[in-house]
């Protein structure tokens, strides 16, 4: 292939914080003809697994192997003229011809594991689950974005709500049993390799805690009026879904950020960067990772619009179909663990943002009323983690108090 007229594809920058990516799979064979916009490969980034499309048209010369971790801007493929392509540099076998099995791990036959067009249209997790259960991906219809086959499609075909293998519980040693020196007091150790996403998250959280002077402020919110308002919204909107309490919090935070620009900013190179747009990230638990899609211009959207968008984003994160633009541009983050019964959360700041809001569960508790009487109230704990380089205690307290006041007067949020 003549490189003089070829289009060189580089490792793309798929999120605002991405520095490198790992190639998960090539969706075309070496020498295949592609057109601009065709799905070319899947890349694991610091936020999610992404499908990368061809930049132009031509015949594919693959330059990087599956499993390679490359910096943004590194050449990964060429698209050139002609009907034939020389042997690719570090080429990966096509998806329909899996590499020979490792001596210690048996791979199921291609007819059982799924191959061909169905395999190339499936997410990496869907392919792994299909191999586990001997499901032919070519027989499935994808319900993901652009017809992609997701883990939900494979699980439905397997007739299981959750087909992830559960490790067998280790046998309890009999009473009085002694441990051998080789085994040690902790017993056998199972070593698991983290995914690229988990490695990047671990590195960024360590950098955040070691380089940013964190502090927290905390308050209790009386959610009684918000609960009553949501119950009324459910009554009039039935059978349509209504905004969740997390959506109330996202909208309240977005409105409060208008009056507290430093909380919507970043500290970079000794300067304050105050962002004009208010884009609130919502932490969503995915498979073995935490992904933060973004609701852009959250302060300008209605509560209903935020509710619909947050549900769609969460569904796409869990299906593995979330796109790079949906993960980019966040200026503030809300992390809610209330649905897991946690009364409070002290989250780590998502660099380079100035603050992150932790949300606990709503719980019934006896409190003193304004006249000293005992009342039964619904309380929720909000914790704001702040970067002390840009936000100071009094500013953070005023910002969090405004969020609390908005939630305690929820009609202001619903308007």
Characterize the bridge pairing of strands 280-282 and 332-336.
parallel
Which helix (H) or strand (E) segment holds residue 317: the answer is helix 303-319
User: Is 388 considered catalytic here?
Assistant: yes
Question: Does residue 266 sit in helix, strand or coil?
Answer: strand
Strand partners, 334: 282, 357
Task: Count other Cβ atoms within 10 Å, centred on residue 334.
Answer: 26
Characterize the bridge pairing of strands 374-387 and 20-26.
unpaired
Where b means 16+ CB within 10 Å and e means fewer, 41-51 reads bbbbbbbbbbb
3-state helix, strand, coil in the chain (%, to 5): 30, 25, 45
Instruction: At 168, list the tokens.
Output: 């067998």
Strand partners, 290: 285
CA angle 326, 347, 12 (to 5 degrees): 30
Where b means 16+ CB within 10 Å and e means fewer, 87-122 reads ebeebbebbeebeeeeeeeeeeebeebbbeebbbbb
Question: Cα–Cα distance between 155 and 245 in angstroms, integer?
Answer: 30
Question: Cα–Cα distance between 64 and 77 in angstroms, integer?
Answer: 7
From the number of C-beta atoms within 10 Å of its C-beta (0-12, 13-18, 19+), residue 21 rates as buried
Runs of H (alpha helix) within 135-222: 151-158, 196-211
Question: Cα–Cα distance between 263 and 248 in angstroms, integer?
Answer: 19
Instruction: At 346, list the tokens.
Output: 């002290």
Task: Count other Cβ atoms within 10 Å, centred on residue 250.
Answer: 30
Active site residues: 388
């Amino acid at each position: 292939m003549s490189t003089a007229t070829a289009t060189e594809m580089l490792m793309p920058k798929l999120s605002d914080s991405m520095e490198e990516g790992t190639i998960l799979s090539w969706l075309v064979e070496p020498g295949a003809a592609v057109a601009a916009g065709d799905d070319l490969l899947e890349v694991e980034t610091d936020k999610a697994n992404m499908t990368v499309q061809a930049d132009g048209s031509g015949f594919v010369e693959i330059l990087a192997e599956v499993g390679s971790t490359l910096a943004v801007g590194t050449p990964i493929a060429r698209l050139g003229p002609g009907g034939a392509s020389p042997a690719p540099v570090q080429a990966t076998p096509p998806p329909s011809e899996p590499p020979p099995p490792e001596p210690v791990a048996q791979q199921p036959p291609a007819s059982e594991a799924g191959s061909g067009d169905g395999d190339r249209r499936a997410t990496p997790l869907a392919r792994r689950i299909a191999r586990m259960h001997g499901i032919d991906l070519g027989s499935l219809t994808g319900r993901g974005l652009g017809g992609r086959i997701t883990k939900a499609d494979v699980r439905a075909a397997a007739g299981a709500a959750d087909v992830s293998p559960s490790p067998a519980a280790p046998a309890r040693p009999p009473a009085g049993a002694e441990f051998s020196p080789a085994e040690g007091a902790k017993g056998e150790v199972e070593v698991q390799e983290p995914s690229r996403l988990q490695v990047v998250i671990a590195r960024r959280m360590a950098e955040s805690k070691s380089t940013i002077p964190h502090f927290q402020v905390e308050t209790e919110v009386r959610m009684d009026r918000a609960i009553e308002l949501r119950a009324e919204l459910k009554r009039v909107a039935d059978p349509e879904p209504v905004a969740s309490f997390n959506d109330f919090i996202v909208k309240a935070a977005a409105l409060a950020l208008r009056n507290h620009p430093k909380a919507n900013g970043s500290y970079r190179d000794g300067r304050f960067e105050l962002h004009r747009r208010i884009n609130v990230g919502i932490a969503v638990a995915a498979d073995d990772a935490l992904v933060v899609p973004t609701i852009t211009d959250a302060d300008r959207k209605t509560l209903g619009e935020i509710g619909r968008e947050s549900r769609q984003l969460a569904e796409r994160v869990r299906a593995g179909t979330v796109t790079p633009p949906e993960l980019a541009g966040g200026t503030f983050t809300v992390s809610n663990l209330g649905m897991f019964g946690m009364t409070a959360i002290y989250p780590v700041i998502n660099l380079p943002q100035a603050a992150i809001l932790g949300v606990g569960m709503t719980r019934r508790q006896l409190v003193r009323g304004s006249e000293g009487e005992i009342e039964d109230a619904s309380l929720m704990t909000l914790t704001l983690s702040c970067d002390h380089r840009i936000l100071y205690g009094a500013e953070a307290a005023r910002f969090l108090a405004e969020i609390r006041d908005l939630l305690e007067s929820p009609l202001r949020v619903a308007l």
